[in-house]
Amino acid sequence: MNDFASKFKSFLLELIDKHIDIDVIRHPLSDGEIKIDSIEKDTIFSTIEEVFDEISEKVNNLSEKDGLFYLWRNLYDLIVQKLNRNAKRYLSQFPADAKDNYSIWEHLKIASAFQGASLSLFLFTLGPVQSFIAQARKTQDFFSGSFLLSYLTLVGIEKIAERYGPANIIYPDLYKQPLVDLLLEQKGLKIENSQSSYTDQATVPNRFVAILPECESEKIKKIADEVTKRIKEEWNEIIAKILKNFGLDKYVEKSKLIEKQIRSFPEIYWVAIPLKKEGKNISPSVFQDFVEEVKGLKEGDTGISYQLAYTALEKFVGARKNLREFEQSEEY
């Protein structure tokens, strides 16, 4: 087992062991509960050990990046496959902490994303949605417009995930996304319970939120520019293939109007807010001009500021969208 897989295994087992003495898992919003049998706890532990032993050879034959993608996508499914019916329902519900209402699996993703001395919350959105709705004449038009925005958004997400890892995408959750599974399979990775057969569905919204291990404006702008460039390149490739397929490419080269219409899509907006800079968490007080809930909040870790940062982020991107882009052009 390589060093990465070994450390990940130790971390996961240590985290579960920390709270394995719990006898019941309670629903955070109701009186519902799941009682845990000690036998099932032992089963889960031994299964995790067994799965890591089995996949170690596969991970050893992959690059560190591909190994990360493989574990991120397949680990949970491989463990579930080997558990009996009772143990399966416990696995997804194990809390990360006795006082937390989220599972160990969510904790693993968030803990991975929040590593780094400097962090920023990054929101990227594509449009226009309203013009697609206004111009649609058939149900097929609605579907095609939604799918196009969904696909191009995923192209942008892929750029971030390849650089920083899939766990850094906070929204949408990439786990078992059909197009993501297809991209991983194209890398040569075997995907458990693959959803790639559903790639004809628009399952990704026209925006994504990510944690970037950067807080300098120039570096973030560079990342956003790279994502934008990749999306526009993919859009141009789609247009070129469609026009060539219908034998219209030679006419487009002579039409400035068509060229202008192609160039004006998609509309892209992004904003970013620092969460941590040089190891120091951003104080909640910096959001007091944007969010009323700041009053009464004490200084804390990055998680304290997350909700405030996201609220401010939504307001910022809304304000940015109100600044309409204007490009002077000739009339035809």
Residue 126, domain CATH? 3.30.70.2220
Q: How far apart are CA 225 and CA 311, in angstroms?
A: 24
What does the pLDDT read at residue 124?
Answer: 95
Task: Give residue-wise pLDDT tens across range 178-200.
Answer: 999 999 999 999 999 999 999 98
What does the pLDDT read at residue 20?
Answer: 55
Across 75-88, average pLDDT: 80
Task: Give percent of the chain above pLDDT 90.
Answer: 23
Exposure string of 160-188, with b = 16+ CB inside 10 Å and e = fewer, is bbeebbbbbbbebebbbbbbbbbbbeeee
Which is higher by pLDDT, 284 or 184?
184
SS3 124: strand
Q: Which residue has the tokens 């991209």?
A: 183
Burial of 128 (0-12, 13-18, 19+ CB in 10 A): middle
Is residue 240, in this structure, part of any structural domain at all? yes
Last residue of a domain, one of 89, 113, 137: 113
287: Cα separation from own chain's centroid: 25
Asked if residues 153 and 206 have their Cβ atoms less than 8 Å apart, the reply is yes
What does the pLDDT read at residue 327?
Answer: 63
| 243 and 259 inside one domain | yes
| 137 and 237 inside one domain | yes
What does the pLDDT read at residue 222?
Answer: 94
Kindly tell me if the per-residue pLDDT of 287 is higher than 60.
Answer: no
| 109 and 178 inside one domain | no
φ, ψ dihedrals at 273, nearest 5°: -135, 130
Is residue 331, in this structure, part of any structural domain at all? no
Last residue of a domain, one of 69, 94, 113: 113
Is residue 235, in this structure, part of any structural domain at all? yes
Is residue 328, in this structure, part of any structural domain at all? no
Kindly tell me if the per-residue pLDDT of 240 is higher than 80.
Answer: yes
| 56 and 133 inside one domain | no
| 57 and 179 inside one domain | no
Lowest mean pLDDT among 58-62, 133-137, 296-300: 296-300
| 236 and 143 inside one domain | yes
Is residue 166, in this structure, part of any structural domain at all? yes
Instruction: State the residue range of the domain holding 181.
Output: 119-322
Last residue of a domain, one of 80, 113, 146: 113
Across 234-263, average pLDDT: 77
| 25 and 51 inside one domain | yes
| 106 and 228 inside one domain | no
Lowest mean pLDDT among 34-43, 68-77, 257-266: 34-43
Residue 18 pLDDT class (50, 70, 90 cuts) = low
Is residue 327, in this structure, part of any structural domain at all? no
Kindly tell me if the per-residue pLDDT of 279 is higher than 70.
Answer: no
Handedness of CA 57, 40, 73, 107 (dihedral sign): negative
Kindly tell me if the per-residue pLDDT of 92 is higher than 80.
Answer: no
Task: Give residue-wise pLDDT tens across range 311-331.
Answer: 888 888 888 877 766 666 665
What does the pLDDT read at residue 154?
Answer: 95
Is residue 225, in this structure, part of any structural domain at all? yes
| 105 and 125 inside one domain | no
| 221 and 109 inside one domain | no
| 82 and 159 inside one domain | no
What does the pLDDT read at residue 310?
Answer: 82
Instruction: Label residue 165 left, alpha or beta by phi (over 0 means left) and psi (-120 to 50 means alpha).
Output: left
Across 154-166, average pLDDT: 93
| 220 and 270 inside one domain | yes
Q: Where are the beta strands (DSSP E) in the chain?
A: 24-26, 33-35, 119-127, 169-171, 207-212, 267-277, 280-281
Is residue 40, in this structure, part of any structural domain at all? yes
Lowest mean pLDDT among 135-139, 243-247, 292-296: 292-296
Q: How far apart are CA 315 and CA 79, in angstroms?
A: 41
- For the chain, the domain total comes to 2
